A and B are shown apart, each in its own frame.
Chain A
Amino acid sequence: MAGPQALDRLSLPARRLYEAPSRLPRLLQGQSIGESTNLSEHLELRGPLPSWGPDAHSRQALIELVDRSGLRGRGGASFPTALKLAAVAGQEGLPIVVANGTEGEPASAKDKVLMARSPHLVLDGAVVAAQAVGAREAVLVCHPAVRGLVDTAIKDRRELRIDAVRLRAVDAAERFVAGEASAVVHWLERGVPTPTRTPPRLAERGLHGRPTLVQNVETLAHLALIARFGANWYRGVGTDSEPGSMLVTVIGALRRPGVYEVAIGTQVSAVIDQAGGTLERPQAILLGGYFGSWAAYDEAAQRPLSRAGLAQLGAGPGAGLIAVLASDVCGLAETARVARYLASESAGQCGPCVFGLPALAGELESLAAGGAFDRTRLERWLGQVDGRGACRHPDGAVRMVRSALAVFTAELERHARSGCCSQGGAEILPTPIGAR
């Protein structure tokens, strides 16, 4: 059976049949917007998925392949995938794989789009991950809107019996914190999508007490391609330290907002150009997600979209959100709205988050409306909320707010003098309050 090293030495005839994509797109290859790739189309386009033996040696070889590729998680934390696989593979007990397509971030759509357009690639990735850790079952947690497509994909695979691993799909909970790894496990076990206390770690004891691998669906899709085409192929785009491609959700005052696949390290302005460029004069970008950071447009546009490239701005690619704010919208008002949304989306388990986030939101709303605001108290609250919950939700909110205070300094002065400065531009950040 085709092992990982064999792929890199495959003779040409086999390669000619199933062409590794030489450029982009990789994950979104083969279909246009709105279409989904069915099983036969998927197999015709990418070829069959190689399988690894169940023995420890084969699993180790697979994990080493992933390590050489440099693949990192695409859920926002960018954790090296090979390390995660090794941590779960090394545990006692039968592991289980959870493919996390919850995508609780309301502005982000990449996971939904990926699952709708390339469900088989995600399922392939779940199978590969299961083989790497020695699991026999993978659960795909997906948005209800794409559940039908995923179920059909699973059914088609089951009929052809192409997987040695049992696959099933479950509806995701539609809450912001529901996408957090321990919240997904909690949701699967008890129907409650809230993060749980961290000891024990999920890799050791997660779903039903078993070692659990929780991986973002985009990560799994990359894994499925690495399994076919090897580590060198994966590193063919992107930077040396951050290889590969990533999905981004580009929104805001743009001609063609949507989900795009770009090489990591692409200049941010080039990514925005793919989305048709801006309609209005842009002032700032929210990078990464609602737990990410604001940056001034002129500074951010020149940077490469990578962890190293954005670190100087105190930002990161996060979960791939690029939200472009036009000059006719008030950045503080947007920040206040998002802060209020994040406060309402607290899991409600930890005091500093439950009380601190609404307090921050209230202060920002007052600031946005042009009223008096207490900067010292705001800073104190930011310090008291950061890092004091069981999950990173309050940390992300604090990061977002701090970056807003650093970027929108002109607005801060204007608001203090003469009230809100908004020139009536459209809000860009969705805050579906009450959509529980």
Chain B
Amino acid sequence: MSTRVRLRVDPIACDGRGLCAELLPELISLDDWGFPILCDTEVPSELTKEAREVVKLCPKLALWLEQVSKA
């Protein structure tokens, strides 16, 4: 299954716990205050599994994968 997806974060739910950036540093970095800066391009297919893991792992359920519509 190769649906194109993008990582998104709910900034209200996000607490800056930082688990996501530990698990997926290729797509997620932390700002000066520990909150995630997500790469806003679509998730490369080789990282899709990790992206799903990260969404599952967030303790605040703040991450989700958004479908990218064909431009």
Contacts and interface: CB of A to CB of B under 8 A. Distances in A.
| Chains A and B come from one and the same complex | yes
Interface of A: 196-197, 349-353, 355-356, 359, 380-381, 384, 388-390
Nearest to A388: B11
Nearest 6 A/B pairs, CB to CB: A355-B33, A350-B11, A351-B35, A384-B31, A349-B12, A351-B16
Interface of B: 10-16, 31-35, 37
A384 B11 contact: no
A352 B34 CA distance: 9
B12 A352 contact: no
A380 B37 CA distance: 13
A288 B47 CA distance: 44
A197 B10 contact: yes
Nearest to B10: A197
A384 B31 CA distance: 6
Nearest to B38: A388
B37 A384 contact: yes
Nearest to B35: A351
Contacts of B35: 350-352, 355, 388
Contacts of A350: 11-12, 14, 35
Contacts of B34: 351
A351 B32 contact: no
Contacts of A389: 11
14 contacts: A350-B14, A351-B16, A351-B33, A352-B11, A352-B31, A353-B11, A355-B32, A355-B35, A384-B32, A384-B37, A388-B11, A388-B37, A389-B11, A390-B11
B33 to A, nearest CB: 4
